[in-house]
Amino acid sequence: MAYVITGECVGEMDGSCVDVCPVDCIYEGLEKRYINPNECIDCGACVTVCPVSAIFGPNDPQQPIWVDDNRAFFELPLPTRSEPIGDPGGGSSYGPVGVDTPLVAEQVAGA
């Protein structure tokens, strides 16, 4: 299991994690960032720079809802999209996705 970005990231688009990621596996949704579990090399560089402590490693206790949500961002078609993102090989070259998973969208709508 790769590193996971949790709900503390919703609305926090600082980007420090993106800047330090050596493999560019962090993708930008509309209100949250997501780590591609197939591209992450489990280095942990993102954890120490996250300003809201939203990133947890493979050996840290995690809320399963965020593990599933992070995976869904890449494996399922997101709202307004007909195909999953998959493994495009880099968040910065892919660019902002402009949409979040239903879980994150519901949190934002309920805030």
Mean pLDDT for all residues in the chain: 93
Which residue is listed with tokens 């494996």? Answer: 75
Q: Which two tokens stand for residue 5?
A: 């970005």
| pLDDT score for 57 | 87
Residue 44's domain spans which residues?
4-110
pLDDT at 63: 76
Residues in the chain, how many?
111
User: In the chain, how many domains are there?
Assistant: 1
Residue 22 has pLDDT above 70, yes or no: yes
pTM: 0.93
- Across 16-25, 28-37, 56-65, least confident range: 56-65
Residue 111 pLDDT more than 70?
no
The CATH number given to whatever domain includes residue 93 is 3.30.70.20
